[in-house]
């Protein structure tokens, strides 16, 4: 199966599944962990054996952490045998839902997005695995709170008031203006590089906070540095300008550590 086909299928499946949950009134039951199921179903439908997929796997690099979804390069015979071993692990995925808190600088969701991206980068640095980050959500929330493209959603009497949609070209590119414009590219194959330092103006956030919360299992082999440079590459994304066609949007980025 071609990689582009798989990533596009995952994006479409997540959007359709979220849209279905929204239409049948189950939106409040949707959480990041539930995204694993439509994604796993899509991957198996594309020819990857179900035995190669593990949901919420014990993280082999960080203590007391788990990975949302992983794909192994051959059929798994015994799950117990691979829980502590990632020698045959092929791809790693982390998922996030875009929400209003996602756009708040130095907030909890900002840190959680940071944590997912950075731990994927460290995993790539230390174990050379293919690592991917998926962000999804309601189309307007993905656009406003993650891409940061349009006027912010305003709240009146505790209700979200979304600005009236303007007619857009279906093939117009996303125009990122939010917190993540330097972290992610929003067109296919676009790459971004960003360096994070342990000491920043806000020492309670970012890499310093990450290193306090994430402890390597093999501290003698996997040691944190004061900085980490990360490259992200957009491998699939819902096109911009489909507000009247899609209820939800999603994107996938490949995450790599840039080695000095």
Which residue ranges make up each domain of the chain? 3-257
- In whole angstroms, what separates CA 63 from the centre of its chain? 20
DSSP string, 169-226: -TTPPP---STTTTT---STT-EEEEEEESS-SSTTSTHHHHHHH--BSSTTTS---S
Per-residue pLDDT tens for 68-104?
Answer: 999 988 766 665 555 556 788 899 999 999 999 999 9
Handedness of CA 217, 82, 88, 185 (dihedral sign): negative
Provide the 10 A C-beta neighbour count for residue 200: 14
Torsion of CA 214, 220, 222, 226, to 10 degrees: 70
Helical H runs in 62-191?
Answer: 79-82, 108-127, 139-141
Provide the 10 A C-beta neighbour count for residue 193: 12
Give the per-residue pLDDT at 155.
47
Give the per-residue pLDDT at 68.
95
Q: What does pTM read for this prediction?
A: 0.88
Cα–Cα distance, 110 to 108 (Å, whole number):
5
Give the per-residue pLDDT at 6.
93
Give the strands of the sheet with 227-237, arranged side by side. Answer: 53-58, 66-72, 89-97, 130-138, 248-257, 227-237, 191-197
Short-list 16, 33, 41, 209, CA closest to 110: 209
* Three-class secondary structure of residue 91 per DSSP: strand
**CA atoms within 13 Å, Cβ hemisphere of 123:** 31
Low-confidence ranges of the chain (pLDDT < 50): 151-156, 160-171
What's the mean per-residue pLDDT of the chain? 86
Cα–Cα distance, 174 to 96 (Å, whole number):
19
Q: Return the CA Rg of the chain.
A: 18
- In whole angstroms, what separates CA 247 from the centre of its chain? 19
Per-residue pLDDT tens for 109-149?
Answer: 999 999 999 999 999 999 999 999 999 999 999 999 999 97
Give the per-residue pLDDT at 75.
62
DSSP 174: P
């Amino acid at each position: 199966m071609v990689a582009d086909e798989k990533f596009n299928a995952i994006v479409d499946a997540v959007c359709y599944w979220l849209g279905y949950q929204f239409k049948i009134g189950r939106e409040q039951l949707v959480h990041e962990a539930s995204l694993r199921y439509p994604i796993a179903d899509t991957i198996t439908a594309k020819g990857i054996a179900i035995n190669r997929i593990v949901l919420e796997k014990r993280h082999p690099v960080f203590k007391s952490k788990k990975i949302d979804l992983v794909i192994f390069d051959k059929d798994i015979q015994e799950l117990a045998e691979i829980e502590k071993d990632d020698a045959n692990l092929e791809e790693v995925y982390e998922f996030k839902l875009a929400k209003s808190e996602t756009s708040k600088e130095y907030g909890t969701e900002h840190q959680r997005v940071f944590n997912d991206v950075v731990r994927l980068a460290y995993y790539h640095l230390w174990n050379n695995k293919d690592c991917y980050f998926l962000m999804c959500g309601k189309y307007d929330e993905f656009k406003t709170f993650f891409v940061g493209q349009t006027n912010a959603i305003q709240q009146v009497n505790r209700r979200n008031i979304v600005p009236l949609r303007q007619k857009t070209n279906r093939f117009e590119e996303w125009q990122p203006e939010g917190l993540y414009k330097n972290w992610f590219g929003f067109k296919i194959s676009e790459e971004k590089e960003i360096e994070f330092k342990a000491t920043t103006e806000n020492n309670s956030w970012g890499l310093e906070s990450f290193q306090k919360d994430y402890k390597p299992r093999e501290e003698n082999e996997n040691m944190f540095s004061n900085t980490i440079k990360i490259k992200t590459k957009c491998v699939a994304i819902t096109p911009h300008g489909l507000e009247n066609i899609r209820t939800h949007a999603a994107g996938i980025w490949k995450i790599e550590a840039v080695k000095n």
